[in-house]
Structure 1
Amino acid sequence: MSEILTRTRAWVLDVDGCLMQTARAGGAGGRAMPRAGEFVAALRGAGHQVVLCTNASQQPPGRYAAHLRQHGIDIDDADVVTAGSAAADFIAAHHDGARVLAIGDAGIVEPLRAHGVDLLDPATDSPPADVVVVAAADDYTTTVINAGCLAVDAGAPLYTTVASPWFHGGLGKSVAVSTAMAHAIGWVTRTEPTVLGKPSPQLGQTLIRRFGIDPSQIAVVGDAAAEIDLARAVGAGSVLVLSGATDETALGALPEGRRPDVVATDVAELLDLLTPHLATQGARA
């Protein structure tokens, strides 16, 4: 077994295309990958730290966690990190006292409110926001889009939860709406959005602080280059599963610097690789 797997004590697990097969972000409406719940339980049973990290941002972490539990993946609300909650953490830490325009749904609004951030309502408030952040939603109003453009044009930083143009969850692909909307505002204002979800180093540093161990003891597991890039950004190990966005052909096309440390067909195969090692650790725990 790979040395990277044997030294790992903390795991960042992707959801869509990794633990869940779905056509919607955060595992919504999908079904668990084979042995996904068993895989998470085995890691926790061996005393390892586990965080589920998804680039979904339309709903709060607790909503996604509840859905995963319904599909046999036993995870606490606090152990789910979304691109929306990660963006809220960053903005609260780096823009203290700022008026923030959140362009999105409950997945960005609720985490910002939990931090006590002053949220601007473009229908009633003025002047322009100090900070603009874009997350996923079913609908974006003209009023909100205009307020975002005016604020960024006036100098407000523009953040987005994700940068990938497409969402892949193992059942085809669909447009990443937060990426599309953030870049629409960016095009109008000639501003490049800053990404706060995967694979941003900002998110990576937050995860490292949470685990409190050396990055070499952390592994990031996912089905896309975003997870590989996140691992590289923080010095963690990278594990690619071929059950979602990346197949054998796409893997072969990755440049040398973006290749994963470990490749598995899916989390069931990864569990088989880890089982003897985890059983020994579980017996000592």
Structure 2
Amino acid sequence: MTPLDSIDAWVLDVDGCLVRTARAGGAGGAPMPDAVRFVAALKAAGHEVLVCTNASEEPPRTYARHLREHGFDIDDDRFVTAGSAAADFIAAEHPGARVLAVGGEGLRDPLRRLGVTPADPDDPSLADVVVVGAARSYTTAELNAAGLAVDAGAAFYTTVDVPWFHGGIGRSICASAAVAHGIGWAAGAEPEVLGKPSPALAATLSRRLGRPAGRVAVVGDALVEVRLARHMGAHALLVLSGATTRERLDDLSQEERPDALYADVAELYQLLTPRLDQSEGVTA
């Protein structure tokens, strides 16, 4: 069993973990049982908490606002998306590059805030970097410009590389991953992932938490969270309230298995309750 007493820093997934929803980032969903109490108790005990989602259609502040509307005490700067993580990586690794963002404001806004130079898909000069994130729709001009740039040697990234989204209510295809692989198919290239479970995201989260890896837990409902925890050297805590079933774990190697398994965050909260200082007036 994972030594819960040793953990004082947390990376919490959203969809299928904190929120039951059919849309990425917790939008339009409802909190899982005791999820609001769980986050409040961690913060009241002085633990470091980051909320991290593979969603990238909206900026972090939009998703954080959704959670606050449901009662979660989550500040904008404690919410990390696959889009914001991708922007952080690209700004650091490709200074001065012209970047073609194939996606919505969840990708473009973080890039703008970091001063990254955008590439116009209608500009005949090719981008230096192409990154694909989520969007309601994609234009032919964007896809063509991305394919031409990647074919000419542009660095090529995607926010996610999973086929399906599952937030606890059914599942839907992960359009950004499909689009990224479509571009890659045309250009003969494989995109590098910058969201979960990439080493790039792991490094960003570890740096922001500022705690030794042995004191960090990653909590989520999908196996990408387990792989993310492995990259961080952190404890992998899996909940069965979203994308993963107990039967799915039977065929996994020991390395791929979580360190601990819970029905949902309510079970984890109940186990932690004796270990945490409870704040007064926390509501579900």
CA distance in 1, matches of 2:100, 2:119: 5
Which residue does the alignment assign to 1:240? 238
Residue-by-residue CA offset, 1:103-140 (whole Å, 9 max, x unaligned) = 000000000000000001112x2310000000000111
| CA shift for structure 1 position 9 | 1.1
| CA shift for structure 1 position 3 | 4.5
Instruction: Output the amino acid matched with 2:152.
Output: A
| CA shift for structure 1 position 210 | 0.9
Which residue does the alignment assign to 2:25? 26
Pair 1:168 & 2:166 matched = yes
CA distance in 2, matches of 1:166, 1:90: 24
Q: Which runs of 4+ in 1 moved over 6 A?
A: none
1:196 to 194, 197, 203: 194
Which residue does the alignment assign to 2:86? 87
| CA shift for structure 1 position 250 | 1.3
Unaligned runs of 5+ in 1: none
3-state SS of paired residue (2:255): helix
Query: Which structure dedicates a bigger proportion of its chain to helix?
Result: 1
* TM-score, normalised by the number of residues in structure 2: 0.96
Instruction: Output the amino acid matched with 1:115.
Output: L
Unaligned runs of 5+ in 2: none
Instruction: Output the amino acid matched with 1:128.
Output: L
Residue-by-residue CA offset, 1:62-84 (whole Å, 9 max, x unaligned) = 00000011111110010000000
Residue-by-residue CA offset, 1:218-255 (whole Å, 9 max, x unaligned) = 10000000000000112100000000001111122322
Over the aligned positions, Cα root-mean-square deviation in angstroms equals: 1.3
Once the two structures are overlaid, the 10-residue window that deviates more, 249-258 or 192-201, is 249-258
CA distance in 2, matches of 1:104, 1:280: 41
Which residue does the alignment assign to 2:126? 128
CA distance in 2, matches of 1:266, 1:68: 18
3-state SS of paired residue (1:52): strand
3-state SS of paired residue (1:221): strand
User: Does the CA-based 8 Å contact 1:83-1:196 persist in structure 2?
Assistant: yes
- Which aligned pairs between 1:106-125 and structure 2 lie closer than 5 A? 106-123=105-122, 125=123
CA distance in 1, matches of 2:174, 2:252: 21
Paired residue total = 280
CA distance in 2, matches of 1:106, 1:147: 18
1:271 to 265, 269, 277: 269
Pair 1:38 & 2:37 matched = yes
Which residue does the alignment assign to 1:228? 226
3-state SS of paired residue (1:273): helix
User: Does the CA-based 8 Å contact 1:88-1:111 persist in structure 2?
Assistant: yes
| CA shift for structure 1 position 281 | 11
User: Does the CA-based 8 Å contact 2:2-2:235 persist in structure 1?
Assistant: no
Which residue does the alignment assign to 1:17? 16
User: Does the CA-based 8 Å contact 1:161-1:196 persist in structure 2?
Assistant: yes
User: Does the CA-based 8 Å contact 1:47-1:281 persist in structure 2?
Assistant: no
Instruction: Output the amino acid matched with 2:91.
Output: A
* TM-score, normalised by the number of residues in structure 1: 0.96
